[in-house]
Structure 1
Amino acid sequence: MILIDPANAPGHGRLWSHLASDTSYDELHAFARRIGIPERGFDRDHYDVPSERYDVVVAAGAVPVSSRELIVRLRAAGLRRRKHSRRALEED
């Protein structure tokens, strides 16, 4: 299922939503291509979507969920990819 959280992540003078799949990255990438979200918007396990596109993404079939629910669903599906901390990178 394709999920989107509320636009509550600030960056570059805008608010952003996160678009993710709790099924597969293939499903996520196909959905993003279909609605014209550029590949450069992909960040580890989600696409960043500007707030002004939120309604269009939901109309295209993304299911609105809370930010917390989005993370829970990604983790449950084994699709969550966290940023590496500097310490983790030094230990590798």
Structure 2
Amino acid sequence: MTVLIDPPVWPAHDTIWSHLVSDESYDELHAFAARAGLPRRAFDHDHYDVPAARHDELVALGALAVSGRELVLRLIASGLRVPQRDKRSGH
């Protein structure tokens, strides 16, 4: 069971963002996010969007820093990845 975070490289809303995921369960992900004080509105189908300013803090709390590629591969392997087409259609 691992919570993973990728480097903050995704630009939006005047900052850059990381993705926080679990390779085990959404329950694990939501529990970690709650302990870290992340708002539930930051959850986007299969990940939390995290501003760059919180990246190091989340690593210190136990999130494993990995590359964006590794994060995606482990999310897919876990079966928790929501395909982009389903995100667009609202599923």
Instruction: Please name the residue that 1:16 is paired with.
Output: 17
TM-score in terms of structure 1 length = 0.90
Query: When the two structures are aligned, how many residues end up with a matched partner?
Result: 87
TM-score in terms of structure 2 length = 0.91
Contact 1:44 1:82 in 2 (8 A): no
Structure 1 runs of 4+ off > 4 angstroms? none
Instruction: Please name the residue that 1:43 is paired with.
Output: 44
Rg larger for: 1
Instruction: Please name the residue that 2:62 is paired with.
Output: 61
- Please tell me whether residue 31 in structure 1 is matched to residue 32 in structure 2: yes
Q: Which runs of 5+ in 1 are unaligned?
A: none
Following superposition, the deviation at residue 82 of structure 1 comes to: 1.9
2-side partners of 1:61 and 1:80: how far apart?
21
2-side partners of 1:10 and 1:46: how far apart?
16
* Partner SS for 1:84: helix
Q: Which runs of 5+ in 2 are unaligned?
A: none
* Partner SS for 1:49: strand
- Matched residue type, 2:6: D
2-side partners of 1:39 and 1:81: how far apart?
17
Following superposition, the deviation at residue 83 of structure 1 comes to: 2.4
RMSD of equivalent CA atoms: 1.4
- Matched residue type, 1:27: E
